[in-house]
Chain A
C-alpha cells in the first residue's frame, strides 16, 4: 500500500497546489456543463450547486467532529470537484432527497470512513454513484427527452426535483411524456427485443447527435487538463483505446448485437469517465506502467458491463473494480521493475 502514503504526503505537503489543480479540473468541466445544460435544461446546474453546497457543509462538519483543521481538506476544493463529478453523472431529474443521500455517501462512506483525502481506495464520486444507482434505480434512469426541452423551465425542474420523491411517474403524466431512456438504454431494449440495431439507427429513432456534443465538450475539457499537465495521457488513452479495440473486434467477429464504434465511444459516460473519473490521482495506479494496466482494465470492464451486464452503462462499476486492483497493480509493477 506504499502508493497511498506517497499520495498522502504529496497531498498534505502541497495543499495550495492541490487547490490550484482542483480549480483547473473545475474549469475543464465547464464546457461539458454548458453542453448538458443546453441538452437537458437547468436540472444539471441545480444538481451541481446543490451537491457542492451540501458536500462542503458536510465536509466541514466531519472535520470538526474529527477534530481536524478546516484549512487543509476543508479549503482545497477536492470535495467540490468530487461533488461536481457526482452531480454531472446523475440525471438532471434526480430528486434532491436522493442527491442528498448521494452526497452523504460520497463524504462519509467514500472519503472519511477511510481517513479522509488521500486515504480512500475507491473514487468517492463513483462510490456515491453506485450507491445511488443500486438504491434508487428508477430515478437514476430517468432523463429528459432532449427534443422536448422547450417545456422544461427552471421552476418546473425545481418542482419536479422536490415533489417527485417516491412517486411513480404515472402520477405525473406530463413528465412521463417528456422523459425518455438514454440512447444506451434504448439500444438495450432493442437488443432484447431481437430487432436489428443498424436499422434502428438508420431510422434515427434514437437522437444521438446531442449526446455526441456533450461527449465532445468533455473531451475538450480533458485535452485542457492534459495540456496543463494536471493528468497524464496514459489513463484516458488506454481506457478509450481498449474500449474501442474490443468494440471493433466484437463488431467484426462477434454476433451482430453491438452498435458501431463511433456510437459506442460517444455514448454513455465513456469520454467523461476516461478523462475525469479514471484519472483521480488518489485512487488510480501510480506508475506509468501501472496506469496503462489500470486504464486498459477499465476500458475492458466498461465494455463487458455495458453490453453483457445488468445495467445499461457500467463505467462506475468498472472504475470501482479497477480501484480494487490498484494495490496489486502497483505491487506487481514495483516487483517487476526491480528484479
Chain B
C-alpha cells in the first residue's frame, strides 16, 4: 500500500493531479456533476467536502491504534456522519441561501466514497500529520475540479461568474459577479445535466492529453540520457 515516507509535496501532487479524486479516481461524481452548475455552488460544496475530509482523516488517524478491524467501518461512518451533520446544521443556520442551493447534496456528502475511501486506504495506516495533509490534498483536488467545472458551466451557460456570491460570503460579495454577456445568450446545455457530463469528459481528455505529452517528453529525455551513458561507457 502507501509508502510511509510520503513527503508533503508528493501527497499534494497526488491529491491535486496524479491521484485526483475527480479526474483520476472518479470518486464522488454524483455531487460533482449535480452541483457544478455555478461557481458559487461548487465552492460551497467544495469547502464542505474539504472540511469533512480533513476532520474524518485526522480523527481516523488519531484513533488508528485503538480501532479493532471488526468495528472500523461503523466507526468511520459514525465520524463522517457526525461531521457532515454538524456542517449541515451550521450551514442551515448561517448560510441558509447556500443550504437551499446545495439541497440534498450537502447531507449526501456522507455517502461520498472519496471520504470513506481515504479513511480506509490512507488515514487508518498513516501518522496524523500525513493523514491531515492527505485530506487537505484530496479535498483541494476535489475542490479544484468542482471549481473549474462550475466556473466553465456558469460562464458558458449564463455568461457570468461568481453570481450569488452573497449566499456564501455575505452581502458585500454581491458585487463580485462578473458578467461576460447577457444571460439570454448563454448556451443552456452547459447548465443542464448533460453539460456536466460533457464538461467532465472534456476535462478528463485534457488531463490525459497533458499527461501523454509529458510522458513523451520524459521518455525522450530518458532515451537521450541512456544514449549518452552508453557513449560514455564505450
Contacts and interface: CB of A to CB of B under 8 A. Distances in A.
A109 interface: yes
Nearest to B182: A166
Contacts of A197: none
B182 A137 contact: no
B198 A137 contact: no
**Interface size class of chain A, counting residues whose CB lies under 8 Å from the partner chain:** 10 to 19
A134 interface: yes
Contact of B188 (A113, A136, A166): A136
A165 interface: yes
A135 interface: yes
A166 B184 CA distance: 5
A109 B198 contact: yes
Contacts of B185: 165-166
Contacts of A165: 185
A203 to B, nearest CB: 35
A165 B182 CA distance: 11
Contacts of A53: none
A131 B189 contact: yes
A101 interface: yes
B188 A101 contact: no
Interface string B181-195: 110110111101010
A168 interface: yes
A134 B189 contact: yes
Interface string A235-265: 0000000000000000000000000000000
A135 B194 CA distance: 11
A134 B198 contact: no
Interface string B136-179: 00000000000000000000000000000000000000000000
- Could you say which of A101, A135, A166 has the most chain B C-beta atoms within 10 Å of its C-beta? A135
B117 to A, nearest CB: 30
Interface in A34-86: none
B159 to A, nearest CB: 9
B189 A135 contact: yes
A165 B181 CA distance: 12
A134 B192 contact: yes
Contacts of B205: 113
B182 A101 contact: no
Contacts of A167: 184
Nearest to A108: B202
A39 B18 CA distance: 58
A137 B192 CA distance: 13
Interface of B: 181-182, 184-185, 187-190, 192, 194, 198, 205
Interface of A: 101, 109, 113, 131, 134-137, 165-168
18 contacts: A101-B187, A109-B198, A131-B189, A134-B188, A134-B189, A134-B192, A134-B194, A135-B187, A135-B188, A135-B189, A136-B187, A136-B188, A137-B188, A165-B185, A166-B181, A166-B182, A166-B184, A168-B184
